[in-house]
A and B are shown apart, each in its own frame.
Chain A
Amino acid sequence: MAEHELPERQSPLEPEYHPGSHGNFEHGVDVILSETRPGSILQLAAWPGEEKQLIEIIGKVTGLALPDGAGGGVSNGARAAFGFAPGKFTVVDEAEGLAAAFAGAITPTIGTLTDLSHGRTAIRIAGPKAEWVMAKFFAIDFALPAFPLGAGRSTNHHDIFAQIQRSGPDQFDIYVFRSFARSFWKALCHASEEVGYEVQ
């Protein structure tokens, strides 16, 4: 949050983040990998029975029309929100300070707010082979009918917890623990070599 004058955030991926084309890209780059570095990553949880009220608050604060239902989500480029567990939501903003915007709105009778902006790393995979590469990591269905636009999924890759949101027809945003992010990133790069990848 800007008012606390936190030091500038450093990327945990930095030593392994090499912009440019890599792997088997002679016939074209089929996935683009990037770190989106959102300013705010929040986890919101509603007490049982307060879920609808929390969804309403998310709508009021972010302007996102978050659909009710398991794994429902929405993104508009700058902001994104999705359900990742019963009554629990991840809300992301390009800008810092989203936690402060929610602070007054989520009362203790509705639920809780946890600021994970410094605890999660957001990685984006995009391109015609994004589904293919993701399917090598996670045992879930990445086809568009099973994993619709905006929807969120909780799963893991070798004990590295991942929250995944589909932010485009061939684009996924993956939120992983910051402490595991570099390891996950390296694995993602290795898995993308066969299709040719570009780091932006």
Chain B
Amino acid sequence: MLITCPYCGPRDVIEFTYQGDGNRERPQPASQDLDAWNAYVYDRLNPAGDHNEIWQHSGGCRAHLRVVRNTISHEILSTAFARGGHKTESRS
């Protein structure tokens, strides 16, 4: 599986570290909304298909990336820097 880092170009997946589901919305740190925290920690879409994910190019430039990966075919549909906090357009 190759992931195309926006900085380094296509690299083998062994250079990357999975940082979790990219659909999660982290509540404000001071939030007392237990449902929101519960959803952030536990709720996952778990789609069979395109999935928004956060990866880090830990074995290269160390940038955090927004990646859309197909969970069935492992095809990488898009990659972008995670900086800015914009979520990948949801495909799931």
Residues of A with Cβ closer than 8 Å to B?
48, 70-71, 84-86, 88, 139-140, 153-156, 159, 161
Partner of A70 from the list B7, B11, B15 (CB cut-off 8 Å) is B7
- B81 and A155: CB pair below 8 A? no
Comparing B26-34, B46-54, B55-63, the segment that makes contact with chain A is B55-63
Majority secondary structure, B binding face: loop
Instruction: Count residues of chain B with CB under 8 A from any CB of chain A.
Output: 15
Please name 4 further chain A to chain B contacts, defined as beta carbons within 8 Å, in addition to the given A70-B8, A85-B62, sorted by A numbering: A85-B61, A85-B63, A139-B12, A153-B8
* Distance to closest chain B CB from A1 (angstroms): 27
* Chain B hits for A139, CB < 8 A: 11-12, 14-15
A-B interface pairs (CB < 8 A), number: 39
| Chain B residues numbered 1-44 whose CB sits less than 8 Å from any CB in chain A | 6-9, 11-12, 14-15
- B7 and A85: CB pair below 8 A? yes
Q: How far is the CA of A85 from the CA of B7 in the complex (A)?
A: 7
Q: Is B91 an interface residue (CB 8 A)?
A: no
- A86 and B61: CB pair below 8 A? yes
Q: How far is the CA of A154 from the CA of B7 in the complex (A)?
A: 10
Partner of B15 from the list A48, A84, A86, A155 (CB cut-off 8 Å) is A155
* Chain B hits for A155, CB < 8 A: 8, 11, 15, 59-60
